[in-house]
Amino acid sequence: MKKIMIIAFVLAFTGLSYAQTEQDAVKYAETITEDELYDKLSILASDAMEGRETGERGQKMAAAFISDHFQRLGLKAPVKSGTENSYYQPVFLYSAVPGDTYIIAGEEKHKNFDKIIYYGSSSSGAVKETEVLFAGKGSEQDFAQLDVKDKAVIVMVDNPRAWKAPHDLALEKGASLTLIVSHKDDAKFTEYGQLFKGFLEGGRLSLEKPDMGGSDPGVFFIAPSVAAQILDVKKQRLQDAMEKGNLKKIKKGTFKYHMEQKIKEVESENVLGYMEGSDLKDELVVITAHYDHIGKNGEQINNGADDDGSGTSAVLEIAEAFVQAKADGKGPRRSILFMTVTGEEKGLLGSAYYTSNPIFPLEKTVVDLNIDMIGRIDHKHKENPEYVYLVGSDRLSTELHEISEKVNETYTKLELDYTYNDEDHPDRIYYRSDHWNFAKNNIPIIFYFNGVHDDYHQPTDTIDKIAFDMLMERTKLVYHTAWVLANRDQKPVVDKPQSQNLGNN
């Protein structure tokens, strides 16, 4: 009798407290509004932020905006920086950018990006002089006529994108360098060169210093007049020899070249705001979104309103809701880290840096809820826009998936679309945003995503196209999921751990 009474009492009590916390969760969810999301996104996606290019001024401004928000909310700055604490976790990035690179043909010196373009990551050291053969289209038959060992080769292609196969074949035959004639006239080539210049000078950012001593020397793209100059023939004769395949008609030439790559260092930062939990404060719930984007194309700004201004605004709003709850004595039992990360667009660099240099132990990190693009409606859901794609919820923890489903059933009632969660889906979304860096450490994750749209990575990804009602609903779903995960007795069980070191997708 006694025993039963105690159980009844416990049931009644936990039932009551559960109902209470449910009510509380709903109360603070009401602080997540379309207007407030709009206010935040209108700043993040404004032209003033210049597309939030990683390491550039606009990204720094966005970081300042986010950390200021965290500070005003009273979140803790969790990163030790000397004797101070900071909201910023510095992330050092590197890229290789072209240095002093040129070709000397005859007496004339051609500098990079005029009539020549170097595409590769080698440095030649001193100026080199080499013999060069004309290898036509660079086919097997062409190479069969020639002994290219330790010589450079000139190859003509129809289309600049077709450079790789002849280059690989040239290297296989022992050639030391490939020169690609990619256009029929110089003017077209120069135009192309200017496009390429912007791309190459941006460099490709990475967490590691680029390796300059690779075995591939790279390729020079050259204008047709430069090829004629090097081989000391008329352009038309090259064209004829290529078409007829009688390459021996063209005598070998010589030229000098120099290539140099410089390492550019870029400092960026993850922005972290921390809320300490109560009785389970050693355990951590992480909520992430990337706040950087792809900057500008010339004068056109890629505002990145959906990607990922939407997710960043959501994180800020969720933080606000939890702060209000805590102020009323309804703070979470587990601690929560609100983290907007950098370098996502460059290869998930900020989150990779965090999980390699965690501020809080990964063993105590119970989940990462990651948001990237939740403000739009894709073609598939035009008629029924109350949806969100979920990816990864069941990959490591069946329980997490069940919690997520239950939360949605209870509070938000969205259609949870698992299309992209299919392991065989060609888009491989599970590996393509920041949650992956947590998942590969066997931390269960859920990824929230609206699917792709025509404005993806375009200057047209602007705030006027955001469906704020859906942005709000999806933000609430993440918030409620975080609430339950931060307050329930047990953390979600990892019943399907993956073997470690799965690599970077």
Smallest separation (angstroms) from Zn ion to the CB of 373: 6
Smallest separation (angstroms) from Zn ion to the CB of 482: 20
307 forms part of the interface with Zn ion (CB under 5 A): yes
130: its two tokens = 């080499």
Smaller CB distance to Zn ion: residue 347 or 385?
347
Smaller CB distance to Zn ion: residue 77 or 271?
271
Smallest separation (angstroms) from Zn ion to the CB of 434: 9
Q: Which of 306, 308, 320, 473 binds Zn ion (CB under 5 A)?
A: 308
Q: How many residues bind Zn ion (CB under 5 A)?
A: 3
Distance in angstroms (rounded) separating the CA atoms of residues 391 and 368: 12
Smallest separation (angstroms) from Zn ion to the CB of 274: 24
Smallest separation (angstroms) from Zn ion to the CB of 383: 26
Smallest separation (angstroms) from Zn ion to the CB of 458: 13
Smaller CB distance to Zn ion: residue 283 or 306?
306
What's 300's DSSP letter? Answer: E
The residues that bridge with 405 in the sheet, in sequence order, are: none
Smallest separation (angstroms) from Zn ion to the CB of 311: 7
Nearest to 397 by CA among 494, 268, 483, 330: 494
- Candidates 183-191, 303-311, 436-444, 459-467 — which segment interacts with Zn ion by CB under 5 A? 303-311
Smaller CB distance to Zn ion: residue 142 or 306?
306
396: its two tokens = 């490591």
For the sheet with 253-258, list strands across it: 108-111, 102-105, 253-258, 128-134, 152-156, 177-181, 219-222, 116-119
Smaller CB distance to Zn ion: residue 178 or 342?
342
- Candidates 14-22, 194-202, 226-234, 304-312 — which segment interacts with Zn ion by CB under 5 A? 304-312
Angstrom CA distances, 110 to 113, 227, 267, stand at: 9, 12, 33
Smaller CB distance to Zn ion: residue 283 or 307?
307
CB 47 within 8 A of CB 305: no
> Element (H or E) spanning 94, and its range?
strand 88-98
Smallest separation (angstroms) from Zn ion to the CB of 312: 10
Q: Is the peptide bond before 308 cis (omega within 30 degrees of 0)?
A: yes
247: its two tokens = 């390459």
Smaller CB distance to Zn ion: residue 62 or 223?
62
Smallest separation (angstroms) from Zn ion to the CB of 477: 18
**Between 57-73 and 34-44, two packed helices, what is the crossing angle to 10 degrees?**
150
Smaller CB distance to Zn ion: residue 181 or 478?
478
160: its two tokens = 């600049």
CB 220 within 8 A of CB 128: no
394 forms part of the interface with Zn ion (CB under 5 A): no
Smallest separation (angstroms) from Zn ion to the CB of 290: 6
434 forms part of the interface with Zn ion (CB under 5 A): no
Smaller CB distance to Zn ion: residue 142 or 345?
345
Smaller CB distance to Zn ion: residue 317 or 372?
372
CB 321 within 8 A of CB 270: no
Reduced to 3 states, what is the DSSP secondary structure of residue 4? Answer: helix
Of 355-374, binders to Zn ion (CB under 5 A) are 372
CB 268 within 8 A of CB 91: yes
- Candidates 60-68, 177-185, 299-307, 464-472 — which segment interacts with Zn ion by CB under 5 A? 299-307
Smaller CB distance to Zn ion: residue 169 or 294?
294
Smallest separation (angstroms) from Zn ion to the CB of 305: 11
Site string for Zn ion, 64-93 (x = CB under 5 A): ------------------------------
Nearest to 177 by CA among 219, 205, 127: 219
DSSP of 130-172 = EEEEE-TT--HHHHHT---TTSEEEEE-SSGGGGHHHHHHHHH
Judged on CB neighbours under 10 Å (0-12, 13-18, 19+), 371 is: buried
CB 342 within 8 A of CB 291: yes
Which residues of the chain form contacts with Zn ion (CB under 5 A)? 307-308, 372
